[in-house]
Amino acid sequence: MTSQLPAEPGSPLSAIDTPALIIDLDAFEANLRRMADYVGGHEIRLRAHAKTHKSPIIARKQMALGAIGICCQKVSEAEIMVAGGVDNVLVSNEIVGSRKLDRLAALARQAEIAVCADCPSNIEALGQAAEKFGVRLTVLVEIDVGAGRCGVAPGEEALGLARAIDVHPALRFGGLQAYHGSAQHIRGSEERRHATECAVHLTRETVTLLESHGLASKIIGGGGTGSFEIETASGLYNELQAGSYIFMDADYARNHAAEGSIFESFSHALFIFTTVMSRPAENRAIVDAGLKAVSVDSGLPEVVGDKRVRFTKISDEHGVLTAETAGILPGYGEKLLVIPGHCDPTVNMHDFYVCVRGLNTAGAHVEAVWPVAARGALF
Amino acid sequence: MTSQLPAEPGSPLSAIDTPALIIDLDAFEANLRRMADYVGGHEIRLRAHAKTHKSPIIARKQMALGAIGICCQKVSEAEIMVAGGVDNVLVSNEIVGSRKLDRLAALARQAEIAVCADCPSNIEALGQAAEKFGVRLTVLVEIDVGAGRCGVAPGEEALGLARAIDVHPALRFGGLQAYHGSAQHIRGSEERRHATECAVHLTRETVTLLESHGLASKIIGGGGTGSFEIETASGLYNELQAGSYIFMDADYARNHAAEGSIFESFSHALFIFTTVMSRPAENRAIVDAGLKAVSVDSGLPEVVGDKRVRFTKISDEHGVLTAETAGILPGYGEKLLVIPGHCDPTVNMHDFYVCVRGLNTAGAHVEAVWPVAARGALF
């Protein structure tokens, strides 16, 4: 089926159909510029993560402001990014299965592609796919620096994999993937710093070990929105992989920033616009944004505006707003903005971004409608 | 972007790309037949809920087995169902906003369409849209029978709305929407029975009150997968709105069925097929199904097969499997099935159903690939 557009450029905010995924263009552009300024002032490169936005339009904006490339998590995402004009992609993930590997290797004929690996048989399979398509694939070794997800142990195990990549004629050793995913969401800034510094320490030892065996890590990548200043300060990491900084979400807003951090200068730029579809009781407003419009894995959305109005329940197609003070709930038919708990899986539920200029002004209007081009790119 | 198909008909199970949404056709067809047999043996009609499957193919199968129509929650869902050959749709929800109301009224020129309302201004707006498109819209009054979501109070308030519909020249009073959503997931069968019988009681009083004022409820609808036997036994309800019975999910499996209930004869027919993409530690297998492939609002997925293998963590693109006994985790590159916690929002993340025949046999193969045609139909 052809997807239905929630709005046309030029429409006032009030005319946007709901539930819709909204970008506050002013806040979004400011977030992009702040990160570009930060990266410009430090000895670090930005390889922004496209898993957050799934949009080649946004990826190209990031690169126009200095990002040297992007990260993807899936081959199908990378295909869509390359088709959309992005020429440098690191798949910051392991790719398994011959169909995906063939597509990855084929893509390396069109753009600069790198990928991660954490086991010998995957390296072997990557090499076979690269040979089949006549390309030389850049492969990073992923090390587990504390997240407990993918990645070999730092040190000797990583060295073994780096060697296997280095000696393979169709592969090129590209460096280390050292991303500490779970550290991003540690609330306390000192605890987050500690976890990230442990990751830096493990990465540094591994880089040194590899160097002592003649293996240079061209890319030492990691650093999400919650921690990238610490990886930058390490003087070791050379690529940041932050994604959420462009939008921010309610979960990231719960992090406490360290003093002097630029983290707090990023502002919410992603919202769900929703309509009050029922006011069945004095203290209950039902909105049309449910589980199919906003992901609740990191908690319920937060209502913009009066902090006393709370999003307290959600089901497939409905959200329930309540307030302790009667009379402050939005009325029947009113539209309001809510901040998603977690931006990435929320974006992945929508076909379009409705990009609004002057969101907080009387002249708020739709400036553009961008497809979430890689929505559902699971493979 | 054109979506990538995860498999072609004829492929063996092992060739399906992952993460994929799988229908076990044998189990699915048995579930369809069981419900059809049940409805055939009782004084009740089935109006199956299409919010679960979002597929006109499945809706037509339900109607071929006796369902008199389907339910949708969104106008855009209803449009896709009608375009796919479904001629009788109840939008079991309130529709707010002129754009949606116009589309709803226009659709009533193509198929039999009914909708719910729970406030006077919505009834007025429905009437205007119906007049604009020269149709007579059937409108049900939604009453809140315990779910605390949409719906007016049973009794006098409902009578007021039914009268407003009845006197409007472009509207037709269609009956009562009396669905107790939250009762579906009450674990204990006695507690669930109690909540549902309260709903039946409130509905009966309202039906009687309306009849005493000359307003007949042609449709008295409700009853989800967790409770439909109780609504049927009431002798009052005449339409069931169950949806999940076709697939079942891990959350519904946690319900305790009453003795003699047919609930337990429904079996899991919906799965996510996922690949082990990393085995970084003895007690950790990482699979490629994360938050963008399976909804966790009702808990993590459950692994099919060895009950000692558990899905213990999830992030955007990764799932973590662990087991107390070392050595029983699936190996690198292995593919396995998991049962989603909640089928509806999980289906809504996928572009295709991969329909497998003989799933539990050596000859398991893809028989069809069906689009999730109304995926993302949010409006």
Is the pLDDT confidence value at B22 over 70?
yes
Chain A residues touching residue B73 (CB < 8 angstroms): 316-317
Return the C-alpha torsion angle B90, B92, B93, B98, nearest 10. Answer: 0
Hey, what are A5's tokens? 């557009």
- How many contacts does A have with B, using Cβ atoms within 8 A? 178
What is the pLDDT, as a whole number, of residue A4?
83
Return the C-alpha torsion angle A330, A333, A336, A341, nearest 10. Answer: 90
Q: CA torsion sign, B303 to A342 to A17 to B127? A: positive
By C-alpha distance, the chain B residue nearest A345 is: B292
Hey, what are A51's tokens? 């898993």
By C-alpha distance, the chain B residue nearest A313 is: B149
Report the alpha-carbon distance of residue A30 to residue A245 in Å, rounded: 10
Check: CB of residue B7 under 8 Å from CB of residue B16.
Answer: yes
> Which has the closest alpha carbon to A338: A369, A375, A294, A372?
A294
Mean pLDDT of B80-97: 98
Hey, what are B40's tokens? 């055939």
Hey, what are B200's tokens? 């039946």
CB contact (8 A) between residue A280 and residue B118: yes
What is the pLDDT, as a whole number, of residue A39?
98
Q: Which of A288, A297, A316 sits opposite B296 (nearest CB)?
A: A297
Where does the pLDDT of residue B73 fall: very low under 50, low under 70, confident under 90, or very high at 90 and above? very high
pLDDT in tens, chain A (379 residues): 557 899 999 999 999 999 999 999 999 999 999 999 999 999 999 999 999 999 999 999 999 999 999 999 999 999 999 999 999 999 999 999 999 999 999 999 999 999 999 999 999 999 999 999 999 999 999 999 999 999 999 999 999 999 999 999 999 999 999 999 999 999 999 999 999 999 999 999 999 999 999 999 999 999 999 999 999 999 999 999 999 999 999 999 999 998 899 999 999 999 999 999 999 999 999 999 999 999 999 999 999 999 999 999 999 999 999 998 878 999 999 999 999 999 999 999 999 999 999 999 999 999 999 999 999 999 9
Report the alpha-carbon distance of residue A360 to residue B196 in Å, rounded: 45
Query: Which of A316, A344, A375 is best to mutate for the B interface (most B CBs within 10 A)?
Result: A316
Structure letter (DSSP) for residue A13: G
Give backbone dihedrals phi and psi of A365, rounded to 5 degrees, phi first. -150, 160
Chain B residues touching residue A300 (CB < 8 angstroms): none
CB contact (8 A) between residue A284 and residue B148: yes
Angle between helices B98-107 and B75-83 (to 10 degrees): 30
What is the pLDDT, as a whole number, of residue A325?
87
Residue that the structure tokens 């399979």 belong to: A125
Mean pLDDT of B364-372: 98
Return the C-alpha torsion angle A297, B287, B284, A105, nearest 10. Answer: -130
What is the pLDDT, as a whole number, of residue B7?
95
Close Cβ partners of A303 (under 8 Å, ≥ 6 residues apart):
A309, A310, A311, A321, A336, A337, A338
By C-alpha distance, the chain A residue nearest B291 is: A345
Check: CB of residue A374 under 8 Å from CB of residue A12.
Answer: no
- What are B220's strand-pairing partners? B176
Query: Measured between alpha carbons, how far is residue B267 from residues A305, B67, B196, B282 in Å?
Result: 45, 20, 23, 33
- Count Cβ atoms below 10 Å from residue A121 Cβ, excluding itself: 12
Amino acid making up residue B230: I
> Which has the closest alpha carbon to A58: A243, A265, A248, A262?
A243
Chain B residues touching residue A99 (CB < 8 angstroms): 17
Query: Measured between alpha carbons, how far is residue A60 from residues A64, A353, B139, B204 in Å?
Result: 6, 16, 49, 60
Residues listed for chain A: 379
What is the pLDDT, as a whole number, of residue B326?
77
What is the pLDDT, as a whole number, of residue B2?
57
Hey, what are A173's tokens? 């050793």
Q: What's the pLDDT tens digit per position in B309-356?
A: 999 999 999 999 999 887 899 999 999 999 999 999 999 999 999 999
Chain A residues touching residue B74 (CB < 8 angstroms): 317
Alpha helices in A151-219 (DSSP H): 156-167, 189-212
By C-alpha distance, the chain A residue nearest B80 is: A1
Say whether A353 sits in a helix, a strand or coil. Answer: strand
- What are A302's strand-pairing partners? A339
Check: CB of residue B104 under 8 Å from CB of residue B95.
Answer: yes
Chain B residues touching residue A119 (CB < 8 angstroms): 278-280, 332
ipTM above 0.90, yes or no: yes
What is the pLDDT, as a whole number, of residue B23?
98
Where does the pLDDT of residue B4 fall: very low under 50, low under 70, confident under 90, or very high at 90 and above? confident
What is the pLDDT, as a whole number, of residue B237?
98
Check: CB of residue A348 under 8 Å from CB of residue B292.
Answer: yes
- Count Cβ atoms below 10 Å from residue A40 Cβ, excluding itself: 11
Predicted model pTM: 0.97
Is the pLDDT confidence value at B102 over 70?
yes
Q: What helix, strand, coil percent values describe chain B, rounded to 5?
A: 30, 25, 45
CA B97, chain centre distance (Å): 24
